[in-house]
Chains A and B, each alone.
Chain A
Amino acid sequence: MLHYIVQSQTYQKGTHYKDLDGDLSDFVGVWKWQNNDSIVTIKFEKWEDVYDSDYNQYEDYLVGAYKFTVNGSVIEDNLSQLNDNSIFILDHYIAGNTILHKGQYPKCENCAEHQRQVFVFFTDPEREYLNSAMVLRYKVEDGVEKMHVVFYPFENSFLPSIDSPNQNRIPYGDYTFIKQ
């Protein structure tokens, strides 16, 4: 798990938030979800010891990018963004490292007692104003690695106009991805 030291409202300078138990590592790789003519491909990397100069801290992160096609047409493809480490870590379209336990929102009734989940921020580059997140749950079933994703709006979003869509181009919902 990511080991944190939190005291009251302080955010300890010099802390190294390390994924000591490899909770982020389960998700590294290429994952695919398909339903009829819709396909989502997500590629995750684990970036270690990312330095935050504001707080003089290091953190391990799960960083991702994705491709979304419908009926063979590419709706979004930002997979190449994953190669750009000049971008601020949380400005990547998928990134995060928050470990959630079984009882934390979104609760996981089917998770094992001590199973950990990973919260990552998600951005649709055409709808950056939406606050969206994915909670990732790793599971091996019949020898197949699966990633269950709960995709949801995690906070209040300020829509720039009354006509602005309140959904990403990939709809919110539950998805099960298969490791490629």
Chain B
Amino acid sequence: MFSAMDAFALNKHNTAFNHDIVGTDESLSVYILVVATGTYAIKINDLDAIQTYHAQFPTKGKEKKEYKRLNRIYNSHYNPASGTTGDFDDYELDFANYIQSKGISLYKAENDLSGWKRLEFDADNPTEVKKTTCNEN
């Protein structure tokens, strides 16, 4: 799953290559992650929010601390007795929760890149990600 470093890198990419172009859509900056269970993407949906969030971590060490914070949650799914990690539903939920109010949105597609859905944390149903088919937006 994506990490805090991916969120920071996405903002840096957008700032370096996109931000100074008047009228450019920041959502054009997209990171894609291909795994066995599907294809994930993140993009910026609120430039002010991601910049405000990123500004809280002004040094590499502070970025690492934030990386560690999310990774600690990911690692909590590992069962040392069985040697099994969490499944992707766990990580989707963790990351969707993590990116709340941070100006980033998470998407998932099928292996053939069809059927894109937006995945969001739903406080009313916090054990399951809310999935919205993109074509219906």
CB distance from A174 to the nearest CB of B (A): 22
Q: Which of A105-148 contact B (CB under 8 A)?
A: 114, 121, 123, 128, 131
Binds B, one of A39-47, A84-92, A165-173: A84-92
- A102 near B83: Cβ-Cβ < 8 Å: yes
Q: Which of B3, B94, B126 sits near A155, CB closer than 8 Å?
A: B3
Q: Is the interface of B mostly helix, strand, loop or mixed?
A: helix
User: CA of A69 to CA of B64 in the docked complex: distance in angstroms?
Assistant: 27
Question: Count of B residues near A, CB < 8 Å?
Answer: 32
CB-CB nearest in chain A for B64: A90
User: CA of A155 to CA of B13 in the docked complex: distance in angstroms?
Assistant: 15
**Chain A residues with CB under 8 A of B71:** 98
CB distance from A4 to the nearest CB of B (A): 6
CB-CB nearest in chain A for B80: A101
- B80 near A90: Cβ-Cβ < 8 Å: no
- B65 near A155: Cβ-Cβ < 8 Å: no
**Chain B residues with CB under 8 A of A102:** 83
- Listed in ascending order, the chain A residues whose CB lies under 8 Å from chain B are 4, 6, 8-9, 11, 52, 54, 87-92, 95-96, 98, 100-104, 114, 121, 123, 128, 131, 155-158, 160
